[in-house]
Amino acid sequence: MLREGKSVVCDVPAPVVGAGTILVDVEFSCISAGTEMMGLKSSGQSLLQKALDQPKHVKKGIEMISRQGLSYTRNFINSKIGVDSPVGYSVAGTVREVGPAVRGFSVGDRVACAGAQCAFHSQVVNVPANLAVVVPKDLSVKYASTVALGAIALQGVRRLKPTLGETFAVIGLGILGQLTCQMLVANGCTVIGCDIKQDRLELAKALGTQFTMPADEQKPIEFVQRLTDGYGVDGVIITAAAQSNDIIATAFQMCRKKGRVVLVGDVGLELNRHDIYEKELDFFISTSYGPGRYDTNYEEKGQDYPLPWVRWTENRNMREYLRLLVNGQIQIESLISKVFDFTKIDEAYHLIEQDELKSPLLLLEFGPQKSERRERLLSSVVLNGIKPSARLNIAVVGMGEFARTVHLPNIKALSEHFQLHTVVSRRGHDAVNMARLHNALHSSSDYEAVLQDKEIHCILLATRHNVHGSMALAALQAGKHVLVEKPLALTTTELNAITEFYAGENNDTPAPLLLTGFNRRFSPYMQVVKKHITARKNPMLINYRMNAGYISKDHWVQTEEGGGRNRGEACHIYDLFTFLTESQVVSIDAKSIQPQMDYYLSNDNFNVHMSFADGSVATLTYTAMGDSSWPKEHMEIFYDGKVITMTDYLTLEIHGMHFNKMRSKHADKGHAEEVRLFGESIKKRQEWPIPLWQQVQATEIALTVEELLRNNMNEV
């Protein structure tokens, strides 16, 4: 982990295997010198230094303050910069556990894994199946741990599209450059290696590179011209890392007419049109390991690309690199400068900083895993040494942005009600970071252990929407009070299971409290509205508009994990209608638009009309097509000669009576009040903050609307 410019070795809960992933006991991990040293430097920068380096983030911060308020923005920043960062992206080891729906892997398989989001320098990692490959039986896991670097180099070569007999220059002979040279030679190409360090040139020569440009060469273009009969090279691969724009200019000038340049490294990119235009050169960017990189559907959800259409994905590149190692077409042993025990990672970083390594390839060795070490890692990690008190011990499960920036700070502020007992995340380092930041007693990655922990009184669930129903039910069955973020459930089956749980409860024993995170009713604005409409003589006409903003169709909220914006967000307003009317819904109708282009979706541009048993009529207009400068939420209520208007939980007006306009600088949607009432209701055994029937009704409305919208789309 990186902390304030230093590397630290610390215990974190082992990750939990999930659907589509494998759990791996790591034996070797490969240090990526350039990437990790940049991360180390960044983690040691002050907030001011980071702001100066990335002014665009300052602008975003100012916009966030105006939108969300100073407190939210401060919590957001702290959750990002006040935490330790895991590092590493290339490991090899043995499969410990295979998740559901995973094919091609078995417990005990030797595997190589890649991915900056999962293949950390860690004794145990949880890796999606498409980011792991089985290691051939004749290959050492030590060598296989370089799989990510090999795939990166291989993808750069594929972007170059070399043919037998062509001549190429490789600029930058670090690890990627050395691997690239060997791959080009294996392709039957002539290679010219270029670097400012003589020992790296000599290493490349020893590994098969036919020509190397002297490190002190003053006229690199003429040098290349002499080797290519005056034509220039067929192409250049840049694997160097430097801020200078001279490198890219030199690469273009080395090329023959119609040549091509591929950028794998990180260099200055102020291009000179003259360098490219007259020769009509092609310039390509190579994206990491290959097709699939940064595609959530491929990397996280296991959706492979068909081989006839995408011959070389990142997973296939990883496998091919290992094959090249087995066949001896790539020599890796000579590139490994040193192997460190993983606890000595600071020594490895120090060696890299000295910048005197012939080859900056260093490995970390984790050694054989012991059973007692596994058990220790799987258990929760004790932090801070805080003693439990008479307060409610609460566990927060799920470490998304909302939990980090809203719920955890609110729980910390409500210390008279809560002791943050355990922070739970499937990514152990996230759990440890947030536990340390918010003074939790423990961090864990094991939800089942939390359910069985008798010291924990209540649970706040802030996970992805598709597991809310099942996780809330499991917690209730374990006797825990539950605050589950909306939605309560995504399916009728899940909702029925929860209602059946309460129907079967023994009335002699108080059932655990359930509160769905319908926070808007707890806003001071809605509390004032409720006070004024309580004495009404007639039904209400309620119009609510949500100018929700655009979210792409591949965002998790729009997928099966989020359930769409009707079930995932509009449910807030269905609860609000229920809260204001305190009445059963009697009819629901919903219509969506049918976009002419695939950019907008039908299921987040719709209108819902409903009537209630008290005679009130409510309408929700939900759209993702509006401009962000227009208010996000606006409500109008017409009743008894009066009109109530509320905008963005910032202003409230009542026309038709004497009322001083209510306004605030920042929106208050009731999040803190919701958590406070949750704690008070448990401790005082008073009425639930939201009656169960109202939580169920809001969820049932969302499920009904979802079905109506789906039928509406099918009719077109």
Task: Say how many C-beta atoms besides its own lie within 10 A of residue 545's C-beta.
Answer: 21
Whether 457 and 567 map to the same domain: the answer is no
> Is the pLDDT confidence value at 53 over 60?
no
**Matching residue, tokens 């809560």:** 418
Rounded to whole angstroms, the Cα distance separating 348 from 361 reads 10
pLDDT at res. 378: 44
**How far is Cα 64 from Cα 56, in angstroms, rounded to an integer?**
12
| One domain for residues 24 and 124 | yes
First to last CA, the chain: 53
Q: Is 375 a residue whose pLDDT tops 50?
A: no
Q: What is the pLDDT of residue 252?
A: 97
166-178, pLDDT tens digit by residue?
999 999 999 999 9
> Does the pLDDT of residue 496 top 80, yes or no?
yes
Q: Average model confidence (pLDDT) for the chain?
A: 90
> How much is the pLDDT for 684?
86
Q: Residue 370 falls within a domain, yes or no?
A: no
Highest mean pLDDT among 64-68, 207-211, 349-353, 595-599: 207-211
Q: What is the mean pLDDT of residues 548-574?
A: 94
Domain boundary among 285, 311, 344: 285
Residue 213 in this model has a pLDDT that exceeds 70: yes
Same domain, 504 and 541: no
605 with 661, same domain?
yes
- As a whole number of angstroms, the distance between CA 544 and CA 625 comes to 16
User: For residues 529, 530, 534 and 537, what is the CA-based torsion angle, rounded to 10 degrees?
Assistant: 50
- Report pLDDT for 348: 86
Angle at Cα 636 formed by Cα 633 and Cα 640, nearest 5°?
160
479 and 352 co-located in one domain: no
Beta bridge partners, 424, equal: 397, 444
Q: Of 477, 493, 516, which residue constitutes the final position of a domain?
A: 516
Which residues form the domain of 489?
382-516
Does one domain contain both 537 and 681? yes
Between residues 417 and 83, which one has the greater pLDDT? 417
Q: Is the pLDDT of residue 601 over 80?
A: yes
Average pLDDT over residues 466-493: 97
| Tokens read off for 10 | 């610390």
pTM above 0.95, yes or no: no
> Are 249 and 319 in a shared domain?
no
- 339 and 432 share a domain? no
Residue 39 pLDDT greater than 60, yes or no:
no
Question: Would strands 442-444 and 21-31 be described as parallel, antiparallel, or unpaired?
Answer: unpaired
| Domain-located, residue 304 | yes
Q: Which of 365, 397, 416 is the last residue of a domain?
A: 365
Residue 373 lies in a domain: no
Lowest mean pLDDT among 133-137, 252-256, 368-372, 539-543: 368-372
Same domain for 142 and 154? no
Please answer whether residues 474 and 452 qualify as being in contact, where contact means their C-beta atoms are separated by less than 8 angstroms: no
pLDDT tens-digit series, residues 291-327? 999 998 999 989 999 999 999 999 999 999 999 999 9
CATH number at residue 247: 3.40.50.720
pLDDT at 12: 81
Question: What phi, psi does 90 have (nearest 5°)?
Answer: -150, 110
Res 197 pLDDT > 70: yes
The answer to whether residue 372 sits within a structural domain is no
Q: Is the pLDDT of residue 554 over 90?
A: no
What pLDDT sits at residue 5? 59
**pLDDT score at 4:** 58
Which CATH number goes with the domain that contains 21?
Answer: 3.90.180.10
Q: SS3 of 271, please?
A: coil
Rg (CA), the chain: 30
Q: Is 58 left (phi over 0), alpha (psi -120 to 50) or beta?
A: alpha
In a domain, 292, yes or no: no
Q: Are residues 597 and 552 in the same domain?
A: yes
What is the pLDDT confidence band of residue 377, given thresholds at 50, 70 and 90?
very low
Structure tokens at 311: 């011959």
Give pLDDT, residue 54: 60
Residue 484 domain-assigned (yes or no): yes
Please indicate, yes or no, if residue 54 is contained in any of the structural domains.
yes
DSSP 162-185: --TT-EEEEE--SHHHHHHHHHHH
- For 56-90, write each residue's pLDDT tens digit: 656 666 666 666 666 667 666 666 666 777 889 99
In a shared domain, residues 331 and 454: no
What tokens appear for 464 in the block?
């992805």
Closest CA to 157 of 387, 321, 25, 273: 321
At residue 519, the pLDDT reads 97
Total domains, the chain = 4
pLDDT at residue 429 in the model = 86
592 and 667 in a common domain: yes
Range 481-506 average pLDDT: 93
- Residue 504 falls inside a structural domain: yes
pLDDT class of 619 with cuts at 50, 70, 90: very high
